[in-house]
Amino acid sequence: MRRVDYDSTHLVKAVKGLELHPNAYTWVPIDGTNTKIVNANKDLAIKWFASWAAAKIVQLGNQPKILIPIPSSKTIIASTEDFRTYKIAQEIAARVPNATTTSVLRFIEARPSSREDGGSRDPNVLYPNMALTGAVPLGQIILVDDVMTSGGHFIAASWKLADLGRAPALAIACGRSLDAAIDDPFAVAPEDIDISR
Domains and CATH numbers, the chain: 46-176 (3.40.50.2020)
Long-range contact pairs involving 115-123 (C-beta distance under 8 Å, separation at least 24): 117/73, 119/73, 120/152, 121/149, 121/150, 121/152, 121/153, 122/152, 123/152, 123/153, 123/155, 123/156, 123/159
- State pLDDT tens for residues 5-37: 778 887 888 888 888 888 888 888 777 888 888
pTM: 0.89
Evaluate whether 153 touches 115 at the Cβ level (below 8 Å): no
What pLDDT does 69 receive? 96
CA angle 154, 90, 61 (to 5 degrees): 70
φ/ψ of residue 73, rounded to 5: -60, -25
pLDDT at 121: 85
pLDDT per residue as tens digits for the range 61-70? 999 999 999 9
Distances (CA, A) of 133 to 3, 76, 158: 43, 10, 15
Query: To 5 degrees, how large is the angle CA 144–CA 171–CA 130?
Result: 65
Strands (E) in the chain, as ranges, are 26-30, 33-37, 65-69, 99-101, 105-107, 130-132, 140-148, 168-176
Flag residues of the chain having pLDDT under 50: none
